[in-house]
């Protein structure tokens, strides 16, 4: 994800969070409309992001995570067997 995409994503998330906790804004039609627009933008972005192919870097990162989890599970089983 590029820096500008990350910044935009963070800004939209912060705006939605603010709209969700501001009761006076939530009561007016324009505030609800703004919240709905931002939430739809996040959903559209997330859907498009999930449709993108996995990059080699992402694939390697997930593989590392799975290896660590497997190693932790093996270590936990070994520790149970020693008690």
Q: What is the pLDDT of residues 14-64, one digit of tens each?
A: 888 888 888 788 788 988 888 888 888 888 888 888 888 888 998 899 899
Q: Give which of 9, 16, 62, 5 is closest to 39, Cα–Cα.
A: 16
Give the pLDDT confidence score for residue 83 in this predicted structure.
53
Give the pLDDT confidence score for residue 1 in this predicted structure.
64
Give the pLDDT confidence score for residue 25 in this predicted structure.
81
Instruction: Find the DSSP H helices in 1-83.
Output: 3-21, 23-27, 29-51, 56-82
Residue 4 has pLDDT above 70, yes or no: yes
Give the pLDDT confidence score for residue 76 in this predicted structure.
84
Break the chain into its structural domains and give their ranges.
Answer: 1-52, 54-83
């Amino acid at each position: 994800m590029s820096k500008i995409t990350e910044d935009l994503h963070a800004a939209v998330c912060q705006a939605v969070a603010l709209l969700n906790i501001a009761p006076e804004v939530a009561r007016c039609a324009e505030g609800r409309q703004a919240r709905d627009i931002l939430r739809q933008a996040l959903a559209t972005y997330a859907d498009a992001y999930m449709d993108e192919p996995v990059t080699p870097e992402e694939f390697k990162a997930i593989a590392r995570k799975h290896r660590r989890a497997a190693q932790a599970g093996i270590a936990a089983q070994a520790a149970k067997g020693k008690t």
